[in-house]
Structure 1
Amino acid sequence: MSRRDELEQVLSQIIDPETGLSIVRMEIIHDLAEHDGKVSLVFRPSSPVCPMAYSLANAIKQKIGSIEWVDSVTINVENFVRADHLQSLLNG
C-alpha cells in the first residue's frame, strides 16, 4: 500500500456525526500531499459555520499523526468563518 493510500484509508475512518459519512466520501479533504513524512492537506468543512469543524479537524490531525512514518501534519482550513483561528490551533 502506498503512503497516499494509507493516508486515505486512515481519513476514511473519520465519520462526520452530523451526516454519518466519512470525510473522504464527503469530499471535504483536498490537496492531500506527503513528502518525507510531512503531510499537508486542505480541510473545507461542508458549511462555513459547520458545528463539527473543530472536532473533525482535530480528528484529522490525530489520525494522521498516529501513522508511524508521519513526522508532521499541516492543515489549511478554507470555507469556514473561523478558518484562521482553527488553523492556528491545529498548526500552532
Structure 2
Amino acid sequence: MNDAEMQKTGDDIVDVLRSIFDPEIPVDIYELGLIYDVQVSSEGDVKILMTLTSPNCPVAESLPEEVKQKVGTIAEVKDVEVEITFDPPWSKEMMSEEAMLELGFL
C-alpha cells in the first residue's frame, strides 16, 4: 500500500469510527475524542489507540470489539489491533466542537 492508499484507508477508518456511538452519550466515539491514534501500515495492518469515558464504562469489553469488527470490514484492512489506554484520562475537553454543540456544552 502506498502513502495515498494508506491515507485513503485512514480516512475510511475515520468514517467507520464516526458510525460507532457510545451507548450513554448520543455522539460518535470519534467526535467524543475517544480515539487517540489510528496507524495504518503499508501491509494494511491497523492499530487504534483509544480510551473510554471511564474505566468503569459498561461497554469496556464490547466497544473495543465493535471497533475491531467494524474497522476489519474495510477491504484494505488486513488486521486490526485495538489498544485501550487511560493515559491521559478522557475528559469533555477532548470532544470536538460538533460534539460539544450536540450535547449543549457550547
- Report what 1:63 is aligned to: 70
| Structure 2, unaligned runs of 5 or more | 1-6, 88-106
Partners of 1:38 and 1:70 lie apart in 2 by: 6
- Rounded Cα–Cα distance in structure 2 between residues aligned with 1:21 and 1:37: 28
Q: Given the alignment of the two structures, is residue 73 of structure 1 paired with residue 83 of structure 2, yes or no?
A: no
Q: Percent identity?
A: 32
Residue 14 of structure 1: which of 15, 20, 23 is its match?
A: 20
Report how far residue 58 of structure 1 moved.
Answer: 1.0
Larger Rg: 2
* Structure ranking higher on relative contact order (CA contacts 8 Å, 6+ apart): 2
* Equivalent pairs, count: 80
- Write the mapping of 1:22-37 to structure 2, written as runs, cut at 5 A: 22-35=28-41, 36-37=43-44
Equivalent residue letter for 2:9:
R
Q: State TM-score, norm by structure 2.
A: 0.70
The Cα RMSD (Å) is 1.6
The normalised TM-score by structure 1 is 0.80
SS of equivalent residue, structure 2 residue 36: strand
Ranges in structure 1 where 5+ consecutive residues have no aligned partner: 81-92
